Amino acid sequence: MSEKKVMSKKGQVTIFIIIAIIIVAVGILIYSFYPQIKTSLGTTQQNPSSFIQSCIENDITDAVSKISAQGGSIAPTNFIVYNNSNVEFLCYINEYYKNCLVQQPMLKQHIESQIKNQIDKNVDACFASMKSSYEKQGYTVDLKTGEKRIELLPKRIVSTFNYSLTLTKGENVQRYNPFIVVLDNNLYELTAIANSILDWETTYGDAETTTYMTYYHDLKVEKILRGTEGKVYVITDRNTGNKFQFATRGQIWPAGYLAPTL
């Protein structure tokens, strides 16, 4: 092998070694100074949308759980006590022999308004807390309140807060609007089944729960008879454990009479 080829190979090896040393050195520098770099870029700081999500999400979850256990209302006025919950009558009549009458014809909208009313004060508190947090970090904060809206949608509950936030620090200006919090919950589907049961109750005086479980294998639909008090229907998602329960009272027969069946 010629001397020139040997020198060429040695030169290539030297170059590779130098490149490897540079890569290792850069890696060490990045590892050592990354926390400071993140801080200077603001990446360790929770962004406003995440702040609101983490602040209000549990309150929404708690409101949904309570409302779902009580027939769609935070404070039911006409109810059956079942499993320590005041379960509201969604279909009711205080007479013998007659089918019940629907008490909440706009059930979905009613539930949305109940969730909104339950979390209203906490939403304002979360935005006030966020404003204070950014002011302590040296930002000039302009926060304008707006409409709060809750929507039951397929497989999710969407809370939209049309608040406008502007953060200013030096020449850096950041604007955020709206703020949206999404909760994975199929209350939309459960209330749709509830409305179907209510249609049967108003028309025929009863509902056959096995029909729903035949068509919807992920659902468990129970009917608990409470004598002259009425019935409690419990609709449960077998996969998630989410449930919605409500009461009805219709086709009540006096003692000694046998009520007809479907």
Confidence class of residue 255 from pLDDT cuts 50, 70 and 90? low
- Can you give the residue range of the structural domain that contains 54? 48-64+110-184
Question: What are phi and psi for residue 155, nearest 5 degrees?
Answer: 65, 10
Q: What is the count of structural domains for the chain?
A: 3
Same domain, 180 and 128: yes
State the Cα–Cα distance between residues 128 and 122, nearest whole angstrom.
Answer: 10
Confidence class of residue 31 from pLDDT cuts 50, 70 and 90? very low
Query: Looking at the domain assignment, is residue 86 inside a domain?
Result: yes
Query: Looking at the domain assignment, is residue 162 inside a domain?
Result: yes
Instruction: Average the pLDDT over 29-55 and give the result.
Output: 62
Least confident stretch, 183-187, 211-215, 256-260: 256-260
Separation of first and last alpha carbons in the chain: 101
Same domain, 174 and 222: no
pLDDT at 260 over 50: yes
Residues 157-175: tens digit of each pLDDT: 999 999 999 999 999 999 9
pLDDT at 61 over 80: yes
Same domain, 243 and 143: no
Instruction: Average the pLDDT over 14-42 and give the result.
Output: 51
Instruction: Average the pLDDT over 216-230 and give the result.
Output: 95
3-class SS at 60?
Answer: helix
Which pair of structure tokens corresponds to residue 208?
């056959």
The 10 Å Cβ neighbour count of residue 80 is: 22
Burial call 234-255: b when 16+ CB within 10 Å, e when fewer? bbbbeeeebbbbbbbbbbbeee
- The C-alpha torsion from 137 through 142 and 148 to 153, rounded to 10°, is -60
Residues 104-123: tens digit of each pLDDT: 999 999 999 999 999 999 99
What is the rounded average pLDDT for all residues in the chain? 88
Same domain, 114 and 126: yes
Share of the chain above pLDDT 90, in %: 76
